[in-house]
Every structure is written in C-alpha cells, then in structure tokens.
Chain A
C-alpha cells in the first residue's frame, strides 16, 4: 500500500511569513496526526483528527497554527505568522482505528517537511 505522503519536503521562509503543509494519509486510515520535531528531540503531537473531527489539539499553538482535514482524508497544517522557534520537521502520521484486545496500534509516518524560519 502507498505510504503517507507529505509536501513540500523542504521549506525556507522568513519570520512573520506564512506557510502551509499538506498530508495525504494511507487510504482508509481514519485517524490523522500532525507532529512537530525539533532537532535533537522526539516528535511532539500537535493535533489529532478522527475522520474530519478534532480529537485533541491541546498542544497546538492556536494563535499561529491551524489545521484542517478536508472530507476526512487530506489535511493541511498552516503557520501564520511564523517565528524562528517554529523551525522543525513537521511529521504527518495516520492509523486505523484501534480495536483493542492486543491488536497492534501502529502509526504510519510520512517523510516530514523540514521548515527553516530565518
């Protein structure tokens, strides 16, 4: 099966500019995640969607970050205006609904978008 697709792979912008990232999850995966990974750290969850509804956006800086999931498939993450500290890799992941009972709950990650804010 095709993996999680993300674009662009790299983006360089100046501070106070805006930027958008796109993610196409694996077909049939109802749950979609956006993570931020700062150099040297593990990924940090920003927002989680179940179909096109938000499950958790508690760690999303809502004054500058926004995300949507159109028709429960593709998703976009936007930053406006960007700050220097937003320089990071933005990862998208998707998963099937967890059925419990020991079934593997596996998240499939895309290659990420490396954002540099100058």
Chain B
C-alpha cells in the first residue's frame, strides 16, 4: 500500500488558517486521498476526500498537487474545537477499502 508522510505536530492560533501537509509520493492512479481527524477521547471522523481536483466542504478544503504526490488540508479559521490528530490516508478504489492509519499530525490551537 502507498504510504503517507505527515509532520508529527503543528500549532495554529485561533481564527487563523491552518495548512496541514501530506506527502504521498508513491500514490497510484486509483488512490483516493482521504482525511480523517480524531478529537481527544473520540473515534476518528471523516473530514474530506479527493482524487485529482481540489475539494471543498463545510469542514475544510483539500488542495491536491498537480502530480498528486502531495496534498494539503486547509482549515480556513481554526477554532479550539479543531484541536485533534489529523490523518492523511490513501484509499484504493478496489479491494476491501481499508483505512491504514499512520501517526497523523497533532494540531494544537492556541487561544
């Protein structure tokens, strides 16, 4: 399975934008880029996903590099509730559709 690389931790000030990077240099053509986040003492929750084009939803935006070897999750205005571990995961459009979690990026939001 293709792997992803994320920074261990990041900090952001409240109400400022946050850009969470993810490298996936061995991504294949049928791999979707998924982001999940895990708030303290909760199970992970889906944030956003994309294949080639940039995507927006009510939670975040996903910017995908043209060569698809990296992507960036964008939180437009960080709130204290956004403090969580963010996971970047590649999901192949075939097979058993399993999520393989790495260690993710721990985002701290400073008031």
A residues contacting B by CB (< 8 A) are 4, 31, 33, 40-45, 48, 55-56, 91, 93, 95, 98, 100, 102, 104-112
Instruction: Tell which of B51, B85, B96 touches A102, judged by Cβ atoms closer than 8 Å.
Output: B51
Inter-subunit contact B43/A111 (CB<8 Å): yes
Inter-subunit contact B99/A45 (CB<8 Å): yes
Give chain B's interface secondary structure class.
loop
Cα-based distance from A4 to B45 in the complex (angstroms): 12
The number of chain B residues with a CB under 8 A from chain A is 24
Inter-subunit contact B32/A105 (CB<8 Å): yes
**Smallest CB–CB gap between B52 and chain A, Å?**
10
Indicate whether A105 sits within 8 Å of B103 (C-beta atoms), given known contacts A110-B43, A111-B42, A111-B43: no
Cα-based distance from A91 to B41 in the complex (angstroms): 11
Q: How many A-B residue pairs have CB under 8 A?
A: 55
- List 8 A-B pairs, minimum CB-CB distance, nearest first: A109-B43, A42-B101, A106-B46, A98-B97, A43-B101, A91-B43, A109-B44, A55-B96
B residues contacting A by CB (< 8 A) are 32, 34, 36, 41-46, 49, 51, 85, 87, 91, 93, 96-104
Inter-subunit contact A109/B45 (CB<8 Å): yes
Cα-based distance from A48 to B45 in the complex (angstroms): 18
Best-surrounded residue of A42, A44, A48, A110 (most CB of chain B within 10 A): A42
Contact residues in B for A111 (Cβ distance below 8 Å): 41-43
**Smallest CB–CB gap between A43 and chain B, Å?**
5
Contact residues in B for A43 (Cβ distance below 8 Å): 44, 99, 101
Closest partner residue, chain B, to A100 (CB atom): B93
Task: Give me 14 other A-B pairs in contact (C-beta within 8 A), A42-B101, A102-B51, A112-B42 excluded.
Answer: A31-B97, A42-B85, A42-B102, A44-B101, A45-B99, A48-B96, A55-B96, A91-B44, A95-B97, A104-B46, A105-B97, A107-B99, A109-B43, A112-B43
Closest partner residue, chain B, to A56 (CB atom): B96
Contact residues in B for A41 (Cβ distance below 8 Å): 103
Cα-based distance from A44 to B99 in the complex (angstroms): 9
Contact residues in A for B99 (Cβ distance below 8 Å): 43, 45, 107
